[in-house]
């Protein structure tokens, strides 16, 4: 296996798939089946499990042992190595971290999947929710990531999917401060009026200019719940939003300095 290891050391891939390994075995003229080569490399600590069948993390000699790089996005990267056409991307705090708005990544990365079926196929180590963005995905930290405008609209579409609004408060003002109306209007186009109402309610203190532009898309259609139906934390007459979730009043927020 020396030739295979030499090539892996030269290429330094983050991940190795069974298909890539099969091509290496064929290129080096080995008679040993690729699955046996994979097993031997795993036994010797060169290939580490990712939780995705047929995809391993490569541990180069430079790390001096079978030690993972502990890259937080490895679960998504491994899934995409097996399913490269899957339409999914980092969202919520994981996306804010990838964009540089949040200073830490959540212990369990959050991923938006375009369909419910795809969300069910994602590894259990990933917190998956269903959301299909209108804007193109961005490539950051080696994986697809929702654009900032898409991230905000996902939060407004599925507020109950946000695991910690308290943590979101740390990076939301900076994220909203960077938004473009041209791109936000594209992301909001043809979405339910409730999504626009939640978006305007959420950003009105940070970006009143954008909130006014959202309001011009059309008046709210009846009451919109921000969170599960239950005792109110606050009610916003402008947006007709009944807020049962946010641990802060978005009307009092201001843009990051």
Q: What per-residue confidence (pLDDT) applies to 69? A: 63
| Residue 48: per-residue pLDDT | 86
Distance of CA 147 to the CA centre of its chain: 10
Give 257's pLDDT tier (boundaries 50, 70, 90): low
Question: Which residues are 112's β-sheet partners?
Answer: 89, 129
Has residue 240 got a pLDDT over 80?
yes
* Structural domains of the chain, ranges and CATH numbers in brackets: 2-63 (3.90.56.20), 74-252 (no CATH)
What local confidence, expressed as pLDDT, does residue 66 receive?
Answer: 57
Give the distance, in angstroms, between the CA of residue 206 and the centroid of all CA atoms in the same chain. 23
Q: Which residues, listed in sequence order, are joined to residue 90 by a DSSP beta bridge?
A: 111, 145
| 4, 25, 67 from 38: Cα distances, Å | 11, 10, 17
Asked whether 93 and 102 are in contact (CB, 8 A), the reply is yes
Both tokens assigned to 99: 């964009």
> What's this model's pTM, rounded to 2 decimal places?
0.81
Q: Between these two residues, 165 and 255, which has the higher pLDDT value?
A: 165
Q: Is 34 a residue whose pLDDT tops 90?
A: no
Alpha carbons 79 and 123: distance in angstroms, whole number: 8
pLDDT in tens, 180-226: 999 999 999 999 999 999 999 999 999 999 999 999 988 778 899 99
Q: What's the token pair of residue 104? A: 């830490």
What separation in angstroms does the CA of 131 have from each of 45, 107, 191, 196?
A: 38, 21, 12, 15
Q: Provide the strand spans (E) within the chain.
A: 15-17, 47-49, 55-58, 88-90, 110-113, 127-130, 138-140, 143-145, 224-226, 234-236, 241-243
Pairing of β 224-226 and β 138-140: unpaired
What average pLDDT score do residues 127-150 get?
Answer: 96
- How far apart CA 22 and CA 34 sit, in angstroms, is 5
Q: Which two tokens stand for residue 72?
A: 């937080």
Contact call for residues 118 and 82 (beta carbons, < 8 A): no
Give the C-alpha separation, 187 to 254, whole Å. Answer: 23
**Which residue matches tokens 């009105």?**
204
Structure tokens at 89: 């991307």
Cα–Cα distance for residue pair 21/27, rounded to 1 Å: 10
Task: Give the pLDDT band of residue 98 (cuts 50, 70, 90).
Answer: very high
């Amino acid at each position: 296996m020396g030739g295979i290891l030499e090539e892996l050391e030269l290429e330094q891939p983050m991940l190795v798939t069974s298909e890539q390994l099969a091509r290496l075995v064929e290129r080096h003229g080995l008679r040993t089946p690729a699955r046996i080569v994979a097993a031997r490399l795993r036994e010797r600590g060169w290939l580490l499990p990712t939780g995705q069948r047929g995809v391993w993390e490569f541990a180069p000699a430079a790390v001096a042992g079978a030690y993972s790089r502990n890259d937080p996005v490895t679960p998504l990267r491994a899934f995409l190595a097996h399913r490269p056409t899957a339409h999914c991307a980092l969202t919520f705090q994981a996306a804010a971290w990838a964009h540089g708005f949040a200073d830490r990544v959540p212990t369990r990365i959050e991923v938006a999947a375009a369909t419910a079926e795809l969300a069910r196929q994602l590894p259990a180590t990933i917190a998956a929710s269903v959301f299909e963005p209108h804007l193109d995905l961005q490539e950051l930290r080696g994986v697809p990531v929702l654009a900032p405008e898409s991230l905000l609209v996902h939060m407004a579409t599925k507020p109950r999917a946000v695991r910690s609004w308290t943590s979101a408060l740390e990076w939301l003002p900076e994220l909203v401060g960077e938004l473009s109306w041209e791109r936000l209007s594209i992301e909001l186009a043809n979405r339910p009026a409730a999504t626009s109402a939640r978006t305007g309610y959420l950003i009105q203190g940070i970006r009143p200019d954008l909130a006014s532009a959202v309001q011009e898309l059309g008046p709210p259609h009846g009451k919109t719940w921000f969170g599960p139906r239950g005792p109110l934390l606050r009610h916003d007459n402008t947006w007709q939003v009944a807020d049962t979730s946010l641990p802060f009043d978005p009307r009092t927020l201001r843009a990051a300095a």
